[in-house]
Structure 1
Amino acid sequence: MDWFRLFFIHPVSLYQGAAFPFALLFNYLCIMESFSTRARYLFLLAGGGALALAAMGSLALLVFIPALCAGVLVSSLGPQDVHRCAFFFQMSWQTLCHLSLHYTEYYLQERPSVRFYITLSSLMLLTQRVTSLSLDICEGKVEVASGSISSRSSLSEHLHKALPYFSYLLFFPALLGGPLCSFQRFQACVQGSSPLGRRQSFWALAWRVLQILGLECFKVALSRVVSAGAGLEGCRQLECVYVMWSTAGLFKLTYYSHWILDDSLLHAAGFGSEFGQSAGEEGHIPDGDIWTLETTHRISLFTRKWNHSTAQWLRRLIFQPSRGCPLLQTFAFSAWWHGLHPGQVFGFLCWAVMVEADYVIHTFAGVFIRSWPMRLLYKALTWAHTQLIIAYIVLAVEGRSLSSLWLLCGSYNSVFPMVYCVLLVLLVKTKHKCN
């Protein structure tokens, strides 16, 4: 296992932590009436540019260029064309950057710089914001006064109209992480002020800091246990199950800690409160509901709650518009969005099959298991199986390379997804016979 991949996220956390004073300053300035709406947009945009340069260096151009092009597309195209053009341009640009990573890692056999990993992560988040905004425009949720640059309006007027879009695409609290914030929420938070929400956010921030400290302490303790044992290369038989579970636990703790930190930064800047919620829009929901993720016995529920804002974004972008095999299309696109590494392709396709099996297995269990002792035993067994399958998927996705995937598939851990695959085939055949 590539331990650098497990802990490369720490530089991102450092830059996110450095952005906290500026987020609190922005929240404070928003209460002052002298701090105009235009100044707020400029503050967020300038902060995003400064944070990108500090975290990525010259590679920040890989984020600035698509953000500029997306802003131009949004401002110049009509509602019918903007989503299709923005989607294909953004995904093409991101794919080229991921192919560059493939070339460096697999062909040149070199390790890319940490700045390049941070840039790719920021590009993936930018793709979310670009497609979310273009979908809002296409669905009529956001009205855009489109027009060409050569029209009668001056260039300064066009830039003034496009400023909210550029600011949204590059605003610093969401540049390197954080749950997806819709453009309507972003605009409502920038244009309004809520001293009450600011007082409430202090206690929310304090609770998040305690959570992060607890997760980091737990992660340090677990990392010592994992480093003292054998990896997948040296484990034998059932020992590989423990190695898989503990290593995946480290990855999950890293994600939980990072998600809480990102959510805290958004709250510090005033984008996490209910103040920015528009009518009919779901309120702010953090990416990591740790209690649900660690206690559920349903893979489908885990999938909906894991990285919640991204799951909702994928559902809106791919799952709902799909006409055939929406589940498979959604996970295939997720593999594309993540970079199409061998482990990612296998992991996400396996995840899709596991979710489908989860639906079939629990449907049959709900019909045939009636007594509460059997239901309790069933939930305990499926909880353990769910956690092991998720650990298997996490290691496949995070391992990425073909060699890591081969080690994982050749271990005893492959028994757990295979059990669900066999049950899926048998139960589907039984269903057809009953019909």
Structure 2
Amino acid sequence: MDWLQLFFLQPVSLYQGAAFPFALLFNYLCITDSFSTHARYLFLLVGGSALAVAAMGSFAVLVFTPALCAVVLICLLGPRDVHRWTFLFQMSWQTLCHLGLHYTEYYLQEAPSTRFYITLSSLMLLTQRVTSLSLDICEGKAEAASGGIRSKSSLYEHLCKALPYFSYLLFFPALLGGPLCSFQRFQARVQGPSSLYPRHSFWALTWRGLQILGLECLKVVMRWVVSTGAGLTDCRQLQCIFVMWSSAGLFKLTYYSHWILDDSLLHAAGFGPESDQSPGEKGYIPDADIWTLETTHKISLFTRKWNQSTARWLRRLIFQQGRTWPLMQTFVFSAWWHGLHPGQVFGFLCWAVMLEADYLIHTRVNLFIRSWPMWLLYRTLTWAHTQLIIAYIMLAVEVRSLSALWLLCNSYNSVFPTVYCILLFLLVKRKHKFN
């Protein structure tokens, strides 16, 4: 299996760590009020550009170009049209870049550059910020800049109007990772005084550092377990279940560590929860809620808590806009956004079906369970089943080759999603009959 390509996150973590001193410097200069508003925007923009060049090399052009085009569209189009056109352009550009990855991997049979993987990851995050900003403008939550370029203002005034948008799309704490920060929170943070006190920041960052250290130690153990055991190619019967669970556990630990590091960088720059002062704005939500993810017995709750800011973004962008089959539309778009690899298409469609089954199963069963021992037994069994289904979906999404996906589908692991598919069919049939 070539699932080890996931660990391109390791060089990303190195670049994120290198950005920490600059994040702390930015926060300190904001606390001491040593920066004007324009200087703050420029600091974040220049830092993002430098980080992009350092991490991506010449591939950074693939990030700078759509960011520039998005700002031009925002400045040219009215609030009614800006979201549609920025969405189409950004997703078209990102899809072309993903097709380049497909061409390299499947046609040329070559391993793409790590820098290209980092570029694609940054492009996906840029898509989040572009569409979030365009939706804010469309809904009246952010000031529209339409007509700015066509007005008779000087070039300097045009650049000053466009600077907040450029800075938001490329600011360095969120360029390579991190929870989605809304343009409202970004603007309020840059224009207002810092609310992050050094003492509180020190203890918060120390706690996050200890979490990362613990996760990295667990990763070493889990990597040893995976490397010394059998793979999907040579596992036998029930042994394949342990192979799937341990491999998915390594994936999850890698993501948890990376998300906490990204969250720490945003926190160090002052974009964390303590700086959220916008009235009516939803609170800051970190991507990793490890306790809930590892203890929940519901796929629906896992889905809402896994990469929380992305889940909230998908809900706003697709689910709330869809009129027919919004759940399926959301997961189809998620597969498109991730790159449309065969495993991703299969994995996200499987996820959607499992989610539908999860809703019906838990709604139905909760009507009959009355005693505490039965509830505990039900909770334990559904927790184990949920974790194994999530492990199955995760491996399907992460594998690149069709042969690896076939090995997964042809193993004993397919029993777990099959059980939910059968229950979904029976419950839907019973529901129609009752109606």
TM-score by length of 1: 0.98
Contact 1:47 1:171 in 2 (8 A): yes
Aligned-residue offset at 1:199 = 3.1
Output the CA distance in 1 between the equivalents of 2:272 and 2:308.
14
What is the rounded CA distance, in whole Å, between the counterparts of 1:6 and 1:56 in structure 2? 17
Take 2:432 and 2:139, find their aligned partners in 1: how far apart are those partners?
Answer: 39
- Corresponding residue for 1:79? 79
Per-residue CA deviations over 1:77-126 (Å, capped at 9, x if unaligned) read 11000000000000000000000000000000000000000000000000
The answer on 1:219 being equivalent to 2:219 is: yes
Deviation at 1:198, TM superposition (A): 4.1
Alpha-carbon contact 1:197-1:273 (below 8 Å) kept: no
Contact residue 195 and residue 275 of structure 2 kept, 8 A: no
For 1:171 and 1:145, the matched residues in 2 are separated by 19
Q: How does 1:259-338 map to 2 (within 5 A)?
A: 259-338=259-338
Q: Is the 8 A contact 2:305 2:311 kept in 1?
A: yes
- For 1:119, the aligned partner's letter is T
Give the aligned partner of residue 245 of structure 1. Answer: 245
Further displaced range: 266-275 or 92-101: 266-275
The answer as to whether partners of 1:23 and 1:269 remain within 8 angstroms in 2 is yes
Checking the alignment, whether the CA contact within 8 Å between 2:256 and 2:288 is kept in structure 1 is: yes
- 2:3·2:400 contact (CA, 8 Å) conserved in 1? no
Per-residue CA distance 1:397-432 (angstroms, 9 max, x = gap): 000321111010010000000000000001111222
In structure 1, what is the Cα distance between the partners aligned to 2:154 and 2:196?
A: 40
Corresponding position: 1:230 with 2:214: no
Moved segments of 4+, more than 4 Å: none
Shifted more, 276-285 versus 98-107: the winner is 276-285
In structure 2, stretches of 5+ residues that fail to align are none
- Asked whether the equivalents of residues 201 and 273 of structure 1 are also in contact (C-alpha less than 8 Å), the reply is no
| Residue 428 of structure 2 corresponds to residue 428 of structure 1 | yes
Tell me the equivalent position of 1:193: 193
**More off after superposition, 395-404 vs 98-107:** 395-404
Identity %: 80
| Alignment correspondent of 2:145 | 145
Task: Tell me the TM-score normalized by structure 2.
Answer: 0.98
The CA distance in 2 between the partners of 1:218 and 1:145, in whole Å, is: 48
Counterpart of 2:393 in structure 1 is: 393
Identify the residue that residue 25 of structure 1 maps to in structure 2. 25
Q: Which amino acid aligns with 1:408?
A: L
Q: Distance in 1 between matches of 2:33 and 2:201?
A: 20
**After the TM superposition, which residues 127-166 of structure 1 pair with which residues of structure 2 at under 5 Å, given as runs?**
127-147=127-147, 149-166=149-166
Query: In the TM superposition, what is the alpha-carbon distance from 1:6 to its structure 2 partner?
Result: 3.1
Q: Can you list the C-alpha shifts for 1:324-349, whole angstroms capped at 9, x where unaligned?
A: 00000000000000000000000000
The Cα shift of 1:22 comes to 0.3
Aligned residue number for residue 49 of structure 2: 49
Structure 1 position 144, deviation (Å): 2.0
Q: Which moved more, 1:374-383 or 1:145-154?
A: 145-154
SS at match of 2:217: helix
SS in structure 1 opposite 2:72?
A: helix
Distance 1:199 1:74, change over 3 A: farther
The separation in 2 between residues aligned to 1:145 and 1:239, in whole angstroms, is 59
1:109 partner letter? Q
Structure 1: unaligned runs, 5 residues or longer? none
8 Å contact 2:288–2:308 — kept in the other structure? yes
**How far has the Cα of 1:195 moved from its partner?**
5.1
User: Could you tell me how far apart the structure 2 residues matched to 1:196 and 1:253 are?
Assistant: 29
Q: How large is the Cα RMSD of the aligned pairs?
A: 1.0
CA distance, structure 2, for counterparts of residue 312 and residue 385 of structure 1: 25
8 Å contact kept, 1:177–1:262: yes
Query: 1:367 & 1:196 partners in 2: Cα distance?
Result: 47
